Structure formats: C-alpha cells, structure tokens
Amino acid sequence: MYKIKYEKELLSVINESKEVNRLKSYFISNITHELRTPITVITSVMQLTKSNKYKDNFILKEDSAKLIDDNCNRLLRLVNNIIDIDKCKSGNITLNLDKVNIVELSESVVTLILPYIKARNLEVIFDTTDEEIMMNIDCNKIERVLLNLLSNAIKFSKNEGIISVNLIKMNDILRIVVEDNGIGIENCNSQKIFDKFVRLDNTMTR
C-alpha cells in the first residue's frame, strides 16, 4: 500500500518536473524570438543607412533613427521584464512610487502603440470616467503592464477589429480594462495567466 502511494507521489513529482522544464524551454524559445526581432530590424536599418540612397536623404535618415530608437526601447523593455521575473521570484522587487495622472499616462501608452494598431488595420477606443485621476504608482511598471496587454490585444485581434481601453474609477478603486475581439481565454484557463512561463496558445497562433 505504502509502495503504491510512494510510486504515485514520485510519478506526480516527475510529471511536474517535466512540465516545468517544458515551460522553461518554451519561455527561452519565445524570449529568444522576441529579442531577435528588434535586433534584426536594427541590423537591417543600419545596413540600409550605409547605402548610397541614404546619403543625402534627411527624411529617410530621420525615419531610420526613429525605427532604431523604437526597437532599442523594445529590447530594453524585454530585458526589464526578464529582470523583474527574477526579482519577483526572489521577493526583491521594489516600487518607485510617484503621484501622477494615470489617465494621461495610459493615453500616452495608447498613443505610443498607434502605429502598430494602424499597421494591423485595427481601431482603438480610449475612454475614461474622469479626465484626471491622481494616484501614487510606479509609472514604469504600470506602463509595462499596459504595453504587454495592448501588445497581446494587437497580436490576437482579428483584422479590422476594435481594441478598447477603459479607465473606470469607483470610489478609491481604479479599473483599467483592455478589451479586443480576439479568441480570448476559456474560463477554465483564466487563472493560469498568472503562472510563470505559461502561454495559453492551444488555439492561438503568433
């Protein structure tokens, strides 16, 4: 009896270990792809700027500089995400709080990703119950959360779909709701979105 119980527990531990290793492998593969994309863009643009047609074309040079800057910032955000995962795991994450207008911050993030939304023929609707909501927040982390949510909304929305960002203030609570017309997540999997290394993509495509 004890032997059967021990074997079941051992099998359970082995299966959990295999699943963790599989998810870690997926995470490494995914983050490698995410890092490679902006690096490829930067490299390609740098090669183009060396060509003759760029020598006296100020507009092309300006556009190229912006493209390089955007992708450098994208790389920085990815690296910060990786660092924060490690900090969360060790319990060493800290918040740098400042009193800011979160409506203004949220709107600036939406403005930042507008080119990507237009490139997918999507529409974005920004709405808020108050024009000014002052809160003590860590701007960088709130911005990163919003960028991640909007990035997913863009990635999984249907063409010509609508992404809505709503700020809803109720007494001392603020809800930021990002909605899209993508495939969504089944209710049975909703809690898994907070698990490390997990991506619920059985029916999704990159």
Burial of 112 from C-beta contacts in 10 A (0-12 / 13-18 / 19+): middle
Q: How far apart are CA 201 and CA 204, in angstroms?
A: 5
What's the pLDDT score for residue 130?
92
Q: Given the structure tokens 């690096």, which residue do they identify?
A: 39
| Cβ atoms of residues 168 and 177 within 8 Å | yes
Residue ranges and CATH numbers for the domains of the chain are: 1-90 (1.10.287.130), 98-194 (3.30.565.10)
| Cβ atoms of residues 64 and 48 within 8 Å | yes
Provide DSSP, 127-160.
EES-S--EEEE-HHHHHHHHHHHHHHHHHHSPTT
| Cβ atoms of residues 178 and 163 within 8 Å | yes
Coil/strand/helix, residue 49? helix
- H or E stretch including 192? none
Coil/strand/helix, residue 174? strand
pTM of this structure: 0.62
Provide DSSP, 32-47.
HHHHHHHHHHHHHHHH
What's the pLDDT score for residue 26?
67
The tens-digit pLDDT sequence of the chain (206 residues) is 666 666 677 777 777 777 767 767 766 777 777 777 788 878 887 877 777 666 666 666 777 788 888 888 878 877 887 777 777 777 777 888 999 999 999 999 998 888 888 888 899 999 999 999 999 999 988 988 898 889 888 888 888 899 999 999 988 899 999 999 877 777 776 666 666 555 555 444 33
Nearest to 141 by CA among 132, 131, 149: 149
What strands lie across the sheet with 123-128, from one edge to the other? Answer: 123-128, 162-170, 173-179
User: Sign of the CA dihedral 115, 118, 120, 125?
Assistant: positive
